[in-house]
Amino acid sequence: MRGLLRWLAPVRVVGLVAVGVGLLLGATHLPAPINLAPGSSSVAATPSRADPVTQTQSVCPGPETLGVEGLATSPQQTISLVAAAAPVESLPSGFVIGQGNGSLTFSGLPSGGAWAAPVTVRGQVLQGQVSSAQSVLVNGAGAMAPATVATQWSWTAKGDSRGLVTSACAPASASSWLVAGGAAPGRLERLVLANPASNPVTVDLSVFGAKGPIESPNGQDLVVAGHARTVILLDSIAGTEPSPVVHVTAKGGTVAAFLSDTWLDGLVPRGGDDVSQQAGPAREQVIAGVAIDGLALLRVAVPGDTEAVVESRVLTPAGPKPLPTGGVIRVPGGATTDINLGSLPPGAYAVQVSSDVPVVAAVMVDRRRAAGASSDLAWSVASEPIRTLAGMALPATEVKGLTQQLELAATKTPASVRVTTVGADGLVSTKQVAIGADSVSTMPLAGARSVWVTPLAGIIRAGVLTSVTDAGGVLLSQTPLTDLRLTATPAPLRQLRD
C-alpha cells in the first residue's frame, strides 16, 4: 500500500495555558475601559495579551526522489515520520499544561493514502511511513497546538542510495534560504516545494554561485497547486555550479521548501542529506553541531551587491579557536565561497561567521573510511538563538548501531539550559547544562524518543547529530533545533470614539 503504511504509537497531548505570562512575554493586562462619551475623536484600545496558540502546521518533505518533474521514472523510496509534543517539565517558567481537548494529525500533500485518526493520548510519540509522492502536513489543534515537533528520516544501509537523512518538518514561509549541493559528477539536488494552503502559490528561485547570481528562466514563476507539492531538479537551473545557495520566494502565499543533496560517484554511493529553511541573511551566523572527522567545508553566500569581509572561527569545548586557513576572506556581492575546514582535528564544533554585511552560511562534513570507499555527508545550517523552547522528535532508537547526541553552542556569554528527554517508556528526565562563553557542549541521548531545550541564561543554539555505524563506515545527519511558537498575540480590540 502506498501512503502511510503503519502507525505505531499515539502522541502526547499538550495544552498550554498562560500563567504569570509576564515572566517571559510581558505583563498580562485586563481590558482597558472604553469611553463612549460623545465628542471624542481619540481611539481606545484593549492591550493585547499572549494566549496559547490553538492551531499550528508544519510540513515534512516526504520521499524526495519521487514525483520529480521531468523524470519519467523514480526509484522506490520510503521515509519514516515521528512526531512528539513537549512534556510538562520542558515548558518555560510561567506555563502549565491545560486539560482542554486537542489533536495531532498527519495528512498528505496532495491528499490520499492511509492516514491515522487524530491522536489525543498523552505521553507518547506518533510514528508512520510514507512511500508515495507526497509531502506530509502535521496539524496540531487546540491544546495540542503549542510545542509540537515532527521529524522525517530515512536510513538506507546498502545500494546506490546508502545514507542517513534527517529533516525537521517546518512551517511554510514566504522566504526560505537553502544551502547545500555541489557540481561533482553524480550529485543531484532535488528541491521540494510543498503548499499546505488551498490556493496556488507562485515561487521564484534565486540561485547564488561562486561567480555571482545565476540567471535562469527555469527558476521563475513556478506554480505549486493548493494542497500539493512540486519537486524539481536544481540541475535545470545551476547544473554546473560547485557552491549553490538557493533563495525561495513565494508570492500569493507560503510554501515549505527543502533541498535534498545526494551523491552517487560512478558506482560509489557518497551519501546525502536534506536541508530546510535556515537563518536568513545576517551579519552573524552560528552553526551548531558540526562534527568534523575528515573532509569538511564552510559555505558562505553574500546575497547583497556589496563585497563582504567575512571572519570565521570555530567554537570548541575549550572556547573559540581560529581557522587553520581562510579565517578572514573577502567575498564579492552576490557570490558564494567554500572554506576548507578539513584540517581541523576531529571533534565537535560550532562555526561562528561574522561579516560587515549580511550573509548566509552552512557547513558540510563527510565521513569516509578510505579513498574509493562509500561515504556519507551531512549539512549543518545556521540557526537563530533559542529563546523559549526548542525540541526534536528522534528517529527510532531500535535501529542497530544508531546513536544520537545533543550539540549545544553558546556565544558571547556563558549560558545554561534545561535539557528534557522522554524515553521510549515515557519516562521524563531533566538535566541542567552549563556552556561556557563561545563554547560548545555535547550530551548523549541514548534511549530518548524526544529531546527539548529550554534556555535559562545566555544565547544558545542547538542541534542533534544522528549517526549509524555499520560495516561500510559511519552514516550521519544533523538537525538544527529551532524556536517553537508557543503563543499568539491577538490584535487589540479598538473602539472609535465619536
Q: Residues 377-428: pLDDT tens digits?
A: 999 999 999 999 999 999 976 778 899 999 999 999 999 999 999 998 889 9
pLDDT band at 9 (very low <50, low <70, confident <90, very high): very low
> Do 332 and 252 share a structural domain?
no
Q: In this structure, is residue 115 part of a structural domain?
A: no
Q: Indicate whether 329 and 344 sit together in one domain.
A: yes
Distance separating alpha carbons of residues 290 and 300, to the nearest angstrom: 15
| Chain position carrying cell 529563546 | 387
Q: How confident is the model at residue 217 (pLDDT cuts 50, 70, 90)?
A: very high
Q: What are 293's three cell numbers?
A: 572527522
Percentage of the chain beyond pLDDT 90 is 69
Let me know whether 258 and 324 are in one domain: no
Give the residue-averaged pLDDT of 476-488: 92
Poorest-pLDDT segment among 20-34, 61-75, 291-305, 347-361 = 20-34
Q: What is the model's pLDDT at position 104?
A: 79
Task: Report the CATH number that the domain containing residue 176 is assigned in CATH.
Answer: 2.60.290.11
The pLDDT value given to residue 103: 77
pLDDT exceeds 70 at position 114? no
Indicate whether 494 belongs to any domain.
no
Is 376 in the same domain as 289? yes
Average pLDDT estimate for 196-209: 97
pLDDT at 3: 42
Poorest-pLDDT segment among 36-45, 124-133, 232-241, 314-323: 36-45
Q: What is the pLDDT of residue 274?
A: 97
pLDDT for 5: 37
**For the residues 280-308, what does the mean pLDDT come to?**
97
Read off the pLDDT of each residue in 311-315 and give the average, rounded to a whole number. Answer: 98
Same structural domain, 289 and 356: yes
Confidence bin at 437 (pLDDT 50/70/90)? very high
Cell of 112: 490520499
Task: With cut-offs at 50, 70 and 90, classify the pLDDT of residue 120.
Answer: low
Residues 6+ apart with CB under 8 A from 40: 497, 498
C-alpha to C-alpha distance for 368 and 270, rounded to whole angstroms: 9
Are residues 287 and 336 both part of a single domain? Answer: yes
Residue 235's nearest CA partner among 260, 252, 257, 210 is 260
pLDDT higher than threshold 50 for residue 496: no
Amino acid at 274: D
Mean pLDDT computed over 71-83:
84
Is 242 a member of any domain?
yes
Mean pLDDT of 42-60: 68
Q: Is the pLDDT of residue 184 over 90?
A: yes
End-to-end alpha-carbon separation of the chain, Å?
Answer: 65
pTM here is 0.87
Whether 360 is covered by a domain: the verdict is: yes
**Residues 198 and 287 occupy one common structural domain:** no
- Please compute the mean of the pLDDT values over residues 316-332 and round it to a whole number: 97
For residue 409, give the nearest of 350, 361, 457 by alpha carbon. 350
Number of Cβ atoms within 10 Å of the Cβ of 129: 16
pLDDT above 70 as % of the chain:
84
Give the lowest-confidence range in 19-33, 82-96, 123-137: 19-33
Where residue 429 falls among pLDDT bands split at 50, 70, 90?
A: very high
Last residue of a domain, one of 327, 350, 382: 382
How many domains, the chain? 2
Do 286 and 232 belong together in one domain? no
Strand partners, 127: 82
Task: Tell me phi and psi for residue 217, to 5 degrees.
Answer: -65, -20
Q: Are residues 378 and 283 in the same domain?
A: yes
- Final residue of a domain: which of 225, 244, 276? 276
- Return the bridge partners of 426, or none: none
Tell me: pLDDT of 252 over 80.
yes
Whether 415 is in a domain gets the answer no
Question: Can you give the pLDDT at residue 485?
Answer: 84
Q: Which one of 353, 382, 411 terminates a domain? A: 382
Residue 3 lies in a domain: no
The per-residue pLDDT for 397 is 67
Q: Tell me which residue range forms the domain holding 319.
A: 279-382
Residues 216 and 296 in one domain: no
Q: Is 258 a member of any domain? A: yes
Residue 245 covered by a domain: yes
Query: Is there a single domain that holds both residue 292 and residue 272?
Result: no
Average pLDDT over residues 247-262: 97
260 and 305 in a single domain? The answer is: no
Q: Which of 370-374, 375-379, 470-474 tops mean pLDDT?
A: 375-379
